[in-house]
Amino acid sequence: MDIVVRGRNVEVPDHYRQHVAEKLSRIERYDDRIIRADVELLHEKNPRQAEVCQRVEITCRVKGPVVRAEACSSDFYKALDIATERLERKFRQAADRRRVHHGRHSPTSVAAATGALVEAEPLHGAVAVAEPEPDDGGPYDGPGQVIREKEHPAKPMSLDQALFEMELVGHDFFLFADADSGRASVVYRRKGYDYGVIRLVE
């Protein structure tokens, strides 16, 4: 596994790079397919955020879905400890999931278990949709600007796989191409342990 450690406005000493390598070596026992780990250190300059001013983000490139974890603390060593614990938990869950799915017993999928609930339950204002303004062909002049665009592969997958990959990257939503319907869909986290699904229709 290649490990790349870089700091954003932070100088990264060699002994910290060595510490990162030792911490991440434990992860490989759960998955030997990790190609590369990107570790980024960020320092929050706001003095009011002193207790969480040091942030560590770890992104693991695997032959499969990306696995990501991050943490903030008062120093980079504590933040790294918390982030690697979170990362280890995600890889352990993924390893357990592979063992179960490749074994003789296959559990009920999340899609099957929650399908009826998702279809029956309205969103209750979880998504606000603004009415589009008439397009006069001019530039958008509303509040805020698009400052980042991102693309990712749209390999069709099941709802169960989409939920799994959302948990691996630690996001609250995940855009995917539904293998059953062929539609662009989004799974998202609701309050507690529930999830919702939004599907585009013509």
Residue 91 has pLDDT above 50, yes or no: yes
Per-residue pLDDT reduced to its tens digit, 107-127: 454 445 445 444 444 433 334
pLDDT class of 77 with cuts at 50, 70, 90: very high
Residue 128 has pLDDT above 50, yes or no: no
Identify which has the larger pLDDT, 63 or 123. 63
Q: For each of the domains in the chain, give its residue range(s) and CATH number, in order of start.
A: 2-102 (3.30.160.100), 108-128+153-202 (3.30.505.50)
pTM of this prediction?
Answer: 0.52
Residue 64 is predicted with a pLDDT of 74
Per-residue pLDDT reduced to its tens digit, 33-61: 888 999 999 987 766 666 778 899 999 98
Residue 48 is predicted with a pLDDT of 66
H/E/C letters for each residue in the chain? CEEEEEEECCCCCHHHHHHHHHHHHCHHHCCCCEEEEEEEEEECCCHHHHHHCEEEEEEEEECCCCEEEEEEECCHHHHHHHHHHHHHHHHHHHHHHHHHHHCCCCCCCHHHHHHHHHHHCCCCCCCCCCCCCCCCCCCCCCCCCCCCCCCCCCCCECHHHHHHHHHHHCCCEEEEEECCCCCEEEEEECCCCCEEEEECCC
pLDDT class of 131 with cuts at 50, 70, 90: very low
> What percent of the chain is modeled with pLDDT above 70?
72
Residue 105 has pLDDT above 70, yes or no: no
Residue 190 has pLDDT above 50, yes or no: yes
Q: Which of 18-32, 109-123, 166-180 has the lowest mean pLDDT?
A: 109-123
